């Protein structure tokens, strides 16, 4: 019994340390805008809202201004509608939405790192498709279970989103904020059976 | 216990999953793994990502597989052939992506995701020669960039229907053939990144449906092709002719002979390299070099499968008489006349000209193949013997409506050949190759290949046949004729009653009186040119008669006739002969001949 108590304490300690470490990552990463004037010193509020205000939400509580009706160059069916794991990113990274829409004070636009002053075109041409169902039955793809469980690539609601490859909080410290190292193209080959 | 079972099941499932993951060869560790840990000689110096050389997740080139390279803007020289029905265009789509490395002109490390100034550093800047560098000359590679559609397969009946092809190999969005139709750049399980095995040319045969191929010797022969016996510059992939299939003769990429993608520039080398006693059973190359023969080494680049027999330039190549895609072994007999006149294995699916002068894609009778060059063709051989009636068109000489002819295109109606050796008889049919054949041919009792490849005797004759005047008669001197016409019968005067006198006593060769092929009915008539009589004018001179100087033979019935001419200084004027066996009066003939002899 005593042993169990010690173990529990140790576990709590480890979790705290780990949590603190994770916190330390967003702090100072490229996504830490707290030192920017327009963010008002808020680390989370740039992306997250404190209350559920945007239907439908299943993940974190996103800022309400996310443009959920955006179509990405071609008409999308419901199943092709990107989820929050994409929409929140696209708000800034498509180069059309002003960053002050988040709550900043300066009328300043993000220079999109991917498409400078260009709307994201039809997915599947110049960018890896997002918001698509993971093609689990198609030839050349690993089973979803291998992707998520063994490969540690999240497929939110069975879809491929930005957050499948990228970790916005930069916890893994891999370049391009990748969710894991792409050495030997390990990230690509997690899904692609090539 | 239960726990153990669960564990066991778990292990099994893991094993199955792992096996499924490993079943297909991955691009990782294949030749296309250009990362620093790649296995090939061409790889990056530092870069450790595998996909990046071709693909990028963002800011790709605007083509489907998130392409990470510029397309080459090169103008390629494309494949041309006189026999293709495909409309071959400049490469496009996926082919151009492959060519961005494989044409050898663009730097391998230049990818869109890296700045121009800082490309990926590679062990070789561009694709080095002979390592998959196709160069910008694509005329020596299998054509790409043409639409493999119904319009094409309707015209070319040696291509399989599109629906059948696409079951095995993918075509482009408009049905066009690309590099990716045959190659899967991500899977090198079968070698050369092939989508199907090329053993027994399964890959080629997915599209190409060659007439007669599945029974052809070249498809079924188990002869060994080890080492560099077939091509001194390249070791073939498999050890036997049947396994190598097409690639025994064809090279799909960078072929030395661009048109038709052949291994050798000189047509005959593609055949004789194996048919010289190295791979094939018979040494045909040795026959070709003989005194007279179809010298396939004479011309290079003249033969064209699309040529028309009537206007082609003079030449002979192996493929004029043989179709390597359909050629079959022929275990033929050795008795003349039993071969039969229909085309047999070695000459299957070869074009020809019929006895009526009509071109045909597929000769039915052996002589039709000969008529391509020895018939109406403007490049046919010249006359060898000057005769009363000159004719170089062999097709006309063998017409069955002629006054007389050797029965090649059909049997003779007459029954006046008592000398024939069984099984030949009046009404039998022979072939060109009964007389014109290699002297070493199996059908003539030798040990070499059948067929008119080459002979130590003039005119590509299978046996000796003396044409010089005053030749001393012997079985050897006229061995060709005596092969079918019994020497005993001839010299016993069973047909022409004066054969012995002419051949033995006066030493006149057969060819002085007889024109072996036949006499075209448009030039001669049945009275003056029956029995293949067409005098050799270098021996036979005109005789002075009341009606002027004449050389004439006149048929006066079965085995009887008269001659008017001067021969060996002896003048015949209406000199008659008749054979007693044919019912002629012996006394009458004797008295007449005595009078003439005076």
pLDDT digits (tens, 9 = 90+) for B190-219: 888 999 999 999 999 999 999 999 999 999
Mean pLDDT of chain B: 85
Determine if the peptide bond prior to A56 is cis (ω within 30°): yes
Q: Residues near B259 by Cβ (< 8 Å), separated by ≥ 6? A: B80, B81, B82
* Four-residue CA torsion sign, B370, B376, B379, B380: positive
Long-range contacts of A110-116 (CB under 8 A, 24+ apart): A114/B58, A114/B59, A115/B59
Angle at A71 between CA A68 and CA A77, to 5 degrees: 95
Q: Residues near A134 by Cβ (< 8 Å), separated by ≥ 6? A: A141, A144, A147, A155, A158, A159, A160, A191
Query: What is the pLDDT at residue B323?
Result: 93
Domain extents for chain B?
A: 22-195
Query: What is the pLDDT at residue B17?
Result: 42
Contact A108, A156 (CB under 8 A): no
Q: Tens of pLDDT along B394-446?
A: 999 999 899 999 998 888 877 778 888 888 888 888 888 889 999 988 888 88
Measured distance CA(B559)–CA(B584) in Å, rounded: 9
Test A125 with B58 for CB contact under 8 angstroms: no
Q: Residues near B8 by Cβ (< 8 Å), separated by ≥ 6? A: none
Query: What is the pLDDT at residue B77?
Result: 92
C-alpha pair distances (Å), A87 with each of A71, A74, A126, B33, B424: 11, 16, 18, 34, 94
Contact B246, B236 (CB under 8 A): no
ipTM of the complex model: 0.71
- The mean per-residue pLDDT over the stretch B80-101 comes to 90
Of B219, B229, B216, B176, whose CA–CA distance to B199 is shortest? Answer: B219
- The mean per-residue pLDDT over the stretch B72-91 comes to 90
**How would residue B2 be classed by pLDDT, with cut points 50, 70 and 90?**
very low
Query: What is the pLDDT at residue A80?
Result: 59
Q: Return the residue of B nearest to A121 by Cα.
A: B62
Q: Residues near B179 by Cβ (< 8 Å), separated by ≥ 6? A: B91, B94, B95, B98, B99, B102, B144
Query: What is the pLDDT at residue B241?
Result: 92
Residue B342 has pLDDT above 90, yes or no: no
Test A194 with B26 for CB contact under 8 angstroms: yes
Looking at chain B from residue 65 to 94, which residues have their Cβ under 8 Å from any Cβ of chain A? 66
Q: Give me the average pLDDT of each 10-residue run along chain A (194 residues).
A: 47 42 61 73 72 47 46 45 71 53 39 37 60 83 86 84 84 81 88 87
Q: Tens of pLDDT along B37-68?
A: 888 888 899 888 899 899 988 777 777 788 88
Test A185 with B28 for CB contact under 8 angstroms: yes
Q: Name the residue with higher pLDDT: B391 or B227.
A: B391
**How would residue B332 be classed by pLDDT, with cut points 50, 70 and 90?**
low
Test A128 with B51 for CB contact under 8 angstroms: no
Q: Is B553 helix (H, G, I), strand (E, B) or coil?
A: strand
**How would residue B340 be classed by pLDDT, with cut points 50, 70 and 90?**
low
C-alpha pair distances (Å), B404 with each of B367, B510, B530, B531, B532: 17, 16, 5, 6, 5
- Residues in chain A with CB shorter than 8 Å from the CB of B62 are 121, 125-126
Measured distance CA(B222)–CA(B220) in Å, rounded: 6
**How would residue B581 be classed by pLDDT, with cut points 50, 70 and 90?**
low
Query: What is the pLDDT at residue B319?
Result: 92
Q: How far is B136 from chain A (nearest CA, A)?
A: 27
Q: How far is B62 from chain A (nearest CA, A)?
A: 5
Measured distance CA(B30)–CA(B27) in Å, rounded: 5
Query: What is the pLDDT at residue B218?
Result: 92
Task: Report yes or no: B223 at the A interface, CB cutoff 8 Å.
Answer: no
Which domain does A52 fall in, by range?
2-191
List residues in chain A touching B: CB distance below 8 A: 114-115, 121, 124-128, 142, 146, 165, 182-185, 188-189, 192-194
Contact B464, B480 (CB under 8 A): yes
Strand partners, B420: B485
Contact B248, B200 (CB under 8 A): no
Query: What is the pLDDT at residue B155?
Result: 92
Query: What is the pLDDT at residue B478?
Result: 93
Q: Return the residue of A nearest to B69 by Cα.
A: A126
Test A185 with B50 for CB contact under 8 angstroms: yes
Q: How far is A104 from chain B (nearest CA, A)?
A: 28
Test B24 with A128 for CB contact under 8 angstroms: no
Q: How far is A127 from chain B (nearest CA, A)?
A: 4
Q: Is the pTM of this model over 0.80?
A: no
- CB crowding B12-50: b at 16 or more within 10 Å, else e: eeeeeeeeeeeeebbbbbbbbbbbbebeeebbbeebbbb
Q: Is B234 helix (H, G, I), strand (E, B) or coil?
A: strand
Measured distance CA(B410)–CA(B218) in Å, rounded: 33
Strand partners, B563: B553, B575
- Residues in chain B with CB shorter than 8 Å from the CB of A189 are 26, 28, 50-51
- The mean per-residue pLDDT over the stretch B366-379 comes to 90
Maximum Cα–Cα distance for chain B, whole Å?
Answer: 129
- The mean per-residue pLDDT over the stretch B11-16 comes to 43
Q: Residues near B549 by Cβ (< 8 Å), separated by ≥ 6? A: B542, B543
Measured distance CA(B6)–CA(B11) in Å, rounded: 9
Say if residue B294 is exposed, middle or buried (CB neighbours under 10 Å; 0-12, 13-18, 19+): buried
Q: Name the residue with higher pLDDT: A177 or B24.
A: A177
Query: What is the pLDDT at residue B199?
Result: 92
Q: Tens of pLDDT along B442-482?
A: 888 888 888 899 999 989 999 999 988 899 999 999 999 99
Looking at chain B from residue 23 to 62, which residues have their Cβ under 8 Å from any Cβ of chain A? 24, 26-28, 35, 37, 48-52, 55, 57-62
Query: What is the pLDDT at residue B141?
Result: 92
Q: How far is A193 from chain B (nearest CA, A)?
A: 7
Q: Return the residue of A nearest to B30 by Cα.
A: A194
C-alpha pair distances (Å), B314 with each of A109, B72, B311, B383, B395: 79, 44, 9, 15, 17
> What count of other Cβ atoms lies within 10 Å of the Cβ of residue B409?
25
**Which of B17, B49, B62 minimises the CB distance to A185?**
B49
The dihedral formed by the CA atoms of B567, B571, B573 and B578, expressed in degrees to the nearest 10: -60
**Which of B24, B48, B51 minimises the CB distance to A188?**
B51
Beta strands in chain A (DSSP E): 132-133, 159-160
Contact B125, B108 (CB under 8 A): yes
Residue B248 has pLDDT above 70, yes or no: yes
Contacts across the A-B interface (CB distance below 8 Å): 59
H or E stretch at B164: helix B162-168
- The mean per-residue pLDDT over the stretch B74-97 comes to 90
Long-range contacts of A124-127 (CB under 8 A, 24+ apart): A124/B64, A125/A73, A125/B60, A125/B62, A125/B63, A125/B64, A126/B58, A126/B59, A126/B60, A126/B61, A126/B62, A126/B66, A127/B57, A127/B58, A127/B59, A127/B60, A127/B66
Test B21 with A126 for CB contact under 8 angstroms: no
Q: Name the residue with higher pLDDT: B410 or B586.
A: B410
Q: How far is B171 from chain A (nearest CA, A)?
A: 17
**Which of B26, B48, B63 minimises the CB distance to A183?**
B48
C-alpha pair distances (Å), B307 with each of B89, B314, B362, B364, B533: 24, 11, 14, 19, 36
Task: Report yes or no: B63 at the A interface, CB cutoff 8 Å.
Answer: yes
Q: Name the residue with higher pLDDT: B536 or B413.
A: B536
Q: Is B154 helix (H, G, I), strand (E, B) or coil?
A: helix
Q: Tens of pLDDT along B427-441?
A: 888 888 889 999 988
- The mean per-residue pLDDT over the stretch B558-572 comes to 87
Which of A184, A187, A192 to mutate to test binding with chain B, by most B CBs within 10 Å of its CB? A184
Contact B33, B39 (CB under 8 A): yes
Q: Name the residue with higher pLDDT: B32 or A24.
A: B32
Q: How many domains does chain A have?
A: 1
Test B21 with A193 for CB contact under 8 angstroms: yes
């Amino acid at each position: 019994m005593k042993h169990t108590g010690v173990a529990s304490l140790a576990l709590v300690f480890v979790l705290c340390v780990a949590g603190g470490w994770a916190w330390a990552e967003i702090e100072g990463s490229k996504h830490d805008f707290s030192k920017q004037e327009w963010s008002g010193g808020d680390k989370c509020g740039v992306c997250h809202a404190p209350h559920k205000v945007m239907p439908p939400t299943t993940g974190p509580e996103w800022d309400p201004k996310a443009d959920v009706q955006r179509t990405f160059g071609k008409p999308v069916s419901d199943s092709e509608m990107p989820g929050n794991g994409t929409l929140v990113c696209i708000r800034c990274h498509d180069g059309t939405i002003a960053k002050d829409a988040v709550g900043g004070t300066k009328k300043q636009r993000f220079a999109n790192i991917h498409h400078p002053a260009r709307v994201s075109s039809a997915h599947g041409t110049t960018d890896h498709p997002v918001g698509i169902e993971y093609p689990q039955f198609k030839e050349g793809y690993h089973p979803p279970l291998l992707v998520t469980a063994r490969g540690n690539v999240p497929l939110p609601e069975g879809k491929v989103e930005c957050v499948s490859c990228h970790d916005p909080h930069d916890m893994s410290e891999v370049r391009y904020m990748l969710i894991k190292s792409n050495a030997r193209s390990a990230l690509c080959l997690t899904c692609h059976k090539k | 216990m239960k726990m153990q079972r669960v564990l066991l099941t778990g292990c099994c499932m893991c094993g199955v999953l792992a096996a499924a993951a490993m079943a297909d060869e991955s691009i990782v560790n294949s030749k296309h793994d250009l990362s620093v840990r790649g296995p090939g000689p061409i790889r990056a110096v530092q870069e450790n990502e595998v996909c990046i050389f071709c693909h990028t997740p963002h800011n790709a080139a605007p083509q489907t597989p998130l392409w990470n390279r510029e397309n080459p803007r090169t103008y390629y020289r494309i494949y041309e052939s006189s026999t293709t029905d495909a409309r071959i265009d400049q490469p496009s789509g996926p082919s151009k992506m492959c060519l961005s490395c494989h044409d050898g002109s663009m730097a391998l490390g230049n990818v869109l995701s890296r700045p121009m100034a800082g490309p990926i550093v590679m062990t070789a800047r561009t694709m080095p020669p002979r390592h998959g560098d196709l160069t910008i000359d694509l005329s020596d590679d299998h054509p790409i960039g043409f639409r493999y559609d119904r319009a094409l397969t309707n015209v070319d009946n040696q291509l399989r229907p599109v629906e059948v092809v696409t079951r095995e190999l993918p075509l482009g969005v408009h049905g066009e053939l690309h590099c990716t139709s045959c190659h899967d750049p991500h899977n090198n399980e079968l070698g050369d990144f092939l989508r199907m095995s090329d053993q027994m040319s399964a890959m080629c045969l997915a599209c190409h449906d060659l007439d007669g191929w599945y029974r052809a010797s070249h498809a079924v022969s188990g002869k060994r092709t080890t080492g560099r016996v077939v091509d001194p510059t390249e070791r073939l992939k498999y050890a036997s002719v049947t396994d190598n299939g097409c690639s025994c003769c064809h090279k799909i990429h960078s072929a030395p002979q661009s048109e038709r993608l052949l291994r050798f520039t000189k047509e005959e080398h593609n055949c004789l390299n194996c048919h010289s006693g190295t791979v094939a059973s018979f040494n045909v190359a040795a026959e070709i070099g003989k005194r007279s023969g179809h010298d396939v080494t004479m011309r290079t680049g003249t033969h064209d499968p699309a040529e028309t027999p009537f206007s082609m330039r003079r030449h002979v190549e192996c493929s004029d008489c043989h179709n390597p895609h359909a050629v079959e072994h022929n275990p033929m007999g050795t008795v003349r006349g039993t071969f039969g006149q229909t085309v047999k294995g070695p000459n299957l699916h070869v074009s020809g000209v019929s006895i009526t002068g009509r071109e045909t894609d597929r000769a039915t009778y052996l002589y039709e193949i000969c008529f391509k060059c020895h018939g109406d063709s403007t490049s046919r051989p010249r006359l060898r013997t000057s005769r009363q009636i000159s004719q170089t068109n062999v097709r006309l000489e063998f017409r069955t409506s002629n006054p007389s002819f050797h029965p090649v295109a059909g049997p003779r109606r007459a029954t006046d050949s008592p000398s024939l050796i069984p099984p030949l008889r009046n009404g039998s049919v022979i072939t060109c190759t009964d007389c014109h054949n290699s002297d070493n041919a199996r059908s003539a009792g030798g040990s070499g290949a059948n067929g008119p490849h080459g002979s130590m005797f003039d005119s590509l004759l299978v046996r000796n046949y003396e044409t010089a005047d005053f030749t001393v008669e012997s079985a050897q001197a006229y061995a060709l004729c005596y092969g079918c016409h019994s020497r005993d019968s001839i010299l016993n005067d069973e047909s022409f009653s004066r054969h012995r006198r002419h051949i033995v006593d006066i030493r006149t060769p057969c060819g002085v009186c007889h024109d072996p092929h036949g006499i075209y009915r448009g030039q001669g008539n049945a009275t003056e040119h029956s029995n293949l009589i067409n005098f050799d004018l270098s021996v036979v001179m005109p005789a002075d008669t009341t009606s002027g100087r004449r050389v004439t033979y006149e048929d006066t019935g079965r085995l009887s006739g008269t001659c008017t001419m001067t021969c060996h200084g002896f003048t015949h004027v209406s000199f008659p002969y008749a054979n007693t066996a044919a019912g002629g009066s012996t006394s009458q003939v004797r008295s007449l001949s005595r009078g003439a002899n005076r």
